[in-house]
Structures are given as C-alpha cells and as structure tokens.
C-alpha cells in the first residue's frame, strides 16, 4: 500500500481519504495515486545516489502531472516515443533533462526529439544511427544501448540484458564497438555515453554489478572518452505481502564500489552514472478500486469486477500476482478468483485470494501496487472506457487523468 495508508474500521484510508468515499465520488474502476509516495520514492533514489542522474522511465506512468512531480523532485525523464515526448512537453518538462530512448524509433520520433532539443538520444540500431546522423544538424548528444549479456533473473518477457532478444548492440559479438565507431563517424552526432538496461522487476543487485563490470570493460576498450554510463532501470517492486523491496542502499553501495574498482583497474576516469527507475517509483503509489458486478459460483467462486485486463493486462502477460482487499466491511474469508469483464478466459486479476465468503455485487475491492504499467498498458478491449487516475494528498483528491468516455471512443471512428 502507499505510505501512510491505514485502516479506519474496515475502510482503507489512502492519502488521507477513505477508499469508499473516493469510489463514490469518482466512480469505479478508478486508480488512486498517492502523490507523497511517488515523490518520496523519487527522492529515495536521489538520496541513495546523490551523484547520479536519476531519470524517471516515463513509460511506466505516462501522465503530464506525474512528469511535473518528477521535474519538481529534480529527476530527468526518459521518453520512448514522440507520444511520450508530447506529454513531457505538455508538462513543461525541461528539454535539457529529457532523454529519448525507444528500442525502435520512427523517423517521426527522431524528428520530434531533435525539434524539441532533447538532451540525449539513445540509439539502438545501425539504421537508427544512420537515420539520426542524417537528420541531426549539430552535435546531437547520443548514447548507445548495449546488451551486456547479463541475466537479470526476471520474467522472459521483460528480460532485456541477455543475448537473443531485440534490444541493443551485443557486447559479446563486437556489435557494440562497431556502433561506437559508427556514431563517432557521424559529424552531426556526439557520443557521450553508453547505456544498458538488463530487464524489469529485477531483484538481484549482483546482476547490476555484473553489468557495471562488463560496461566498464567496454568503456576501457574504446578510444573515445565515455563520460556517461546509464545502467537503465528495472528495480523490483514488492507486489505481495512478504515480497522483498528492492535493496536500494545495497544497490547504491555495490554499484559505486564496482564502478570505482573497475575504473581504477582499467585506468579510466569514472563516468557519470545514470539510472532509469520507473516501476520502483510509482508502482506502490497506485491502488485500483473496482466494484463487484457479479459472483459466479462454478468449479470455484469467480468474483467479477467492472474492470479487468483492459486496465490490468499484467496477469495475462506476465503471470503477475496481485493481492485484493474488500473495503468497507469484513467477514470470514474464503479463497476466490477475481476476474474482469472481458471476453477472455485469461481475464483474471487474482487467483485464490481470500475475500469474505459472502462477497456480493456492489462490494468494493482494492488492488494495491497498480501504479506502474497499468495506465500505460491499458486498452479499450470490448470498447471499455479506461479508468481515471485520481491523485490524493493530505486529504485532497483531484483527477489527473479523466475517465474515458464513449465520446472519446467514438471520436476515432469515421
Ligand atoms: N529504461 C529502459 C530502457 C526501459 O526499457 C525500461 C522499461 C526502464 C528503464 C524502466 O524499467 P522499470 O524500472 O520500470 O522496471 N510492461 C512491463 C514492464 C516493461 C518494462 C519496459 N522497459 C510490466 O508491466 O512489467
């Protein structure tokens, strides 16, 4: 739950507001986002690594207001497309603190980044280097995405540091060195750094340490001075009770140690470190509220809610697990399966979770840890309108993303 969340009777108080009140006022499904938790997590990264540039991975929660909070907390912003850049512009995010990095950028993405004057662009293919080289006019700062060949021990669909996936230039095959040469050859580009991102929902600090070792080895073998080393994001969030939080202090200590040691060993000046946390800043700040629409008793008890895979496809995509709590009253628990309203057997939000045995239509359910990659991955499947995001802080609630309406849906059809 977000920091400071507590029970008042059977009601859940988030950001100083009872969940029952929020649901009554803003309707369901709805995502509640605790501003203080987001800001505190952002600060925790800055404090743990005071000399690093902390770059919020904007894809984890694309929303101008959240980008504004990040700007105020002194973070930089990573955008992965012209669309995310448009949100950053709407937020008034300073261009000198924006990095663009999508693993495949279209000409429109690159043009938008150049026109806006983003500070750095991370390149991810030889085609992109050539295209950016032709489009850029004056010393655009560039980083190169490298695949360090490190196993992050995470779900295969979000593991990006190993060989045999589409991201980055392989270190092992020599492709990374070739990319460095290609960037250096382009007069309109200026190589400032190397980048790697080993995956998401990563628990093992040792995987980052290994990435540091390999990346510093690569820096040492370059004839060009590399001033920045971006270690990507991927720091895990605890989704279930008992899951460990990411060991941020241990991470800071160990990667700083590894960096200093390797740089001394290879006799290279230590580069400035960048990190790109997304999930670990926003996941825990979000709580999704759903209303129970129906209870279906068959081989097991299915509790069907008014949202589902259109606002949370993560269980279907990654087998992600969530906790669920009934808000507003208690009762003797029994295991149920919470499902969504979509026309798919895989539209399951949580399996075998304990809810009061008399759970019924009209009950309010709260699902925590829904701040990252929920709004971002939401769809209109079955032409279901996407939920709003309601920011809460010190007893004040305000929508920062409004609920989608049928007019919004119809606007696109010709
Ligand atoms: N940097 C780069 C280059 C990335 O590709 C990502 C995430 C991040 C930073 C931030 O990673 P984070 O700290 O949020 O783990 N949809 C998936 C997660 C995909 C992550 C994509 N890249 C999920 O819901 O688990």
The tens place of each residue's pLDDT in the chain, 414 residues long, gives 999 999 999 999 999 999 999 999 999 999 999 999 999 999 999 999 999 999 999 999 999 999 999 999 999 999 999 999 999 999 999 999 999 999 999 999 999 999 999 999 999 999 999 999 999 998 999 999 999 999 877 777 766 666 777 889 999 999 999 999 999 999 999 999 999 999 999 999 999 999 999 999 999 999 889 999 999 999 999 999 999 999 999 999 999 999 999 999 999 999 999 999 999 999 999 999 999 999 999 889 999 999 999 999 999 999 999 999 999 999 999 999 999 999 999 999 999 999 999 999 999 999 999 999 999 999 999 999 999 999 999 999 999 999 999 999 999 999
Contacts of 253 (CB under 8 A, 6+ apart): none
Distance 165 CA to ligand 1 centre (A): 15
Distance (Å, whole) CA 247 – CA 335: 32
Q: 80 with 18, same domain?
A: no
Distance (Å, whole) CA 71 – CA 39: 10
Q: List the binding residues for pyridoxal 5'-phosphate.
A: 234, 276-279, 373
Q: 287 with 407, same domain?
A: yes
Distance 268 CA to ligand 1 centre (A): 30
Distance (Å, whole) CA 375 – CA 386: 8
The encoded tokens of residue 120 equal 């750095």
Distance 292 CA to ligand 1 centre (A): 31
Q: What's the burial of 284, exposed, middle or buried (CB within 10 Å: 0-12/13-18/19+)?
A: buried
Final residue before a domain boundary, out of 251, 281, 311: 281
**ipTM, 2 dp:** 0.99
The total number of structural domains in the chain stands at 2
Given ligand 1 and candidates 60, 75, 312, 319, which is best to mutate, with the most ligand atoms within 8 Å of its CB?
60
Q: Atom 24 (ligand 1): residue with closest C-alpha? A: 373
Given 30, 196, 236, 343, the catalytic residue: 343
Q: 326 with 262, same domain?
A: no
Distance 199 CA to ligand 1 centre (A): 7
Q: Which atom of ligand 1 is nearest to the CA of 145?
A: 3
Q: Which atom of ligand 1 is nearest to the CA of 202?
A: 15
Does residue 53 lie within any of the structural domains?
yes
Looking from the CA of 174 toward its CB, the CA atoms found within 13 Å total 0
User: Is 343 among the residues known to form the active site?
Assistant: yes
> 275 — phi, psi (to 5°)?
-130, 155
Given ligand 1 and candidates 38, 145, 202, 233, which is best to mutate, with the most ligand atoms within 8 Å of its CB?
233
Distance (Å, whole) CA 252 – CA 18: 36
pLDDT tens column, 325-354: 999 999 999 999 999 999 999 999 999 999
Distance 159 CA to ligand 1 centre (A): 9
Does residue 170 lie within any of the structural domains?
yes
Does residue 87 lie within any of the structural domains?
yes
Q: Atom 16 (ligand 1): residue with closest C-alpha? A: 373
Query: Any idea which residue has 């006022």 for tokens?
Result: 25
CATH code at 58?
Answer: 3.20.20.10
Q: 207 with 135, same domain?
A: yes
Does residue 382 lie within any of the structural domains?
yes
pLDDT tens column, 345-380: 999 999 999 999 999 999 999 999 999 999 999 999
Q: 163 with 44, same domain?
A: yes
For residues 298-319, b (16+ Cβ closer than 10 Å) or e, as one string?
A: eeebebbbbbbbbbbbbbbebe
Q: Is 16 left (phi over 0), alpha (psi -120 to 50) or beta?
A: left
Q: Atom 5 (ligand 1): residue with closest C-alpha? A: 197
Q: Atom 15 (ligand 1): residue with closest C-alpha? A: 234
Does residue 1 lie within any of the structural domains?
no
Angle, helix 248-266 to helix 205-220, in steps of 10 degrees: 20
Distance 290 CA to ligand 1 centre (A): 26
Q: 276 with 344, same domain?
A: no
Final residue before a domain boundary, out of 281, 303, 334: 281
Q: 215 with 298, same domain?
A: no
Q: Which atom of ligand 1 is nearest to the CA of 314?
A: 24
Does residue 313 lie within any of the structural domains?
yes
Q: List the binding residues.
A: 234, 276-279, 314, 318, 344, 373
CB-defined site of ligand 1, < 6 Å: 57, 60, 78, 101, 158, 197, 200-201, 232-235, 276-280, 314, 318, 372-373, 377
Q: Atom 23 (ligand 1): residue with closest C-alpha? A: 373
Q: Which domain holds residue 264?
A: 35-281
Q: Atom 12 (ligand 1): residue with closest C-alpha? A: 234
Distance 265 CA to ligand 1 centre (A): 31
Q: 269 with 318, same domain?
A: no
Q: 185 with 71, same domain?
A: yes
Q: 250 with 296, same domain?
A: no
Q: 196 with 336, same domain?
A: no
Final residue before a domain boundary, out of 237, 263, 281: 281
Q: Atom 9 (ligand 1): residue with closest C-alpha? A: 233
**How do strand 325-327 and strand 364-368 relate by DSSP bridges?**
antiparallel
Q: What's the burial of 68, exposed, middle or buried (CB within 10 Å: 0-12/13-18/19+)?
A: middle
Q: 39 with 86, same domain?
A: yes
């Amino acid at each position: 739950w977000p920091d400071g969340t507590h029970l008042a009777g059977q009601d859940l108080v988030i950001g100083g507001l009872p969940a029952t009140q929020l649901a009554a006022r803003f309707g369901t499904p709805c995502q509640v986002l605790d501003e203080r938790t987001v800001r505190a997590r952002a600060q925790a990264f800055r404090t743990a690594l005071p000399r690093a540039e902390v770059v919020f991975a904007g894809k984890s929660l694309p929303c101008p207001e959240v980008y504004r909070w990040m700007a105020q907390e002194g973070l930089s912003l990573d955008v992965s497309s012209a669309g995310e850049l448009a949100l950053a512009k709407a937020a008034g995010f300073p261009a000198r603190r924006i990095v663009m990095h999508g693993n495949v950028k279209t000409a429109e993405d690159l043009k938008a980044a150049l026109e806006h004057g983003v500070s750095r662009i991370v390149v991810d293919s030889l085609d992109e280097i050539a295209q950016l080289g032709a489009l850029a006019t004056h010393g655009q700062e560039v980083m190169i995405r490298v695949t360090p060949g490190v196993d992050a021990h995470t779900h295969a669909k979000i593991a990006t540091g190993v060989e045999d996936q589409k991201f980055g230039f392989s270190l092992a095959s020599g492709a990374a060195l070739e990319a460095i040469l290609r960037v250096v050859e382009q007069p309109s580009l200026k190589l400032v750094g190397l980048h790697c991102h080993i995956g998401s929902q990563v628990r093992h600090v040792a995987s980052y340490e290994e990435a540091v070792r390999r990346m510093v080895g690569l820096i040492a073998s370059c004839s060009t001075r590399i001033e920045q080393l971006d270690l990507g994001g991927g720091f895990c969030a605890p989704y279930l009770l008992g899951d460990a939080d990411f060991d941020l202090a241990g991470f800071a200590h160990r990667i700083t140690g590894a960096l200093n040691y390797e740089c001394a060993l290879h006799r290279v000046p230590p580069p400035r470190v960048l990190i790109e946390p997304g999930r670990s800043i926003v996941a825990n700040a979000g709580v999704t509220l759903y209303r129970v629409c129906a209870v279906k008793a068959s081989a097991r008890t299915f509790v069907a809610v008014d949202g589902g895979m259109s606002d949370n496809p993560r269980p279907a995509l990654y087998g992600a697990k969530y906790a669920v709590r009934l808000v507003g009253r208690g009762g003797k628990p029994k295991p149920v399966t919470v499902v969504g309203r979509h026309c798919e057997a895989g539209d399951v939000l949580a399996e075998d979770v304990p809810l009061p045995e008399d759970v019924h239509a009209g009950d309010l359910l709260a699902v925590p840890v829904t701040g990252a990659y929920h709004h971002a991955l939401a769809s209109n499947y079955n032409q279901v309108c996407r939920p709003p995001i309601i920011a809460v802080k010190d007893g004040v609630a305000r929508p920062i993303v409004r609920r989608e309406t049928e007019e919004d849906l119809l606007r696109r059809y010709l």
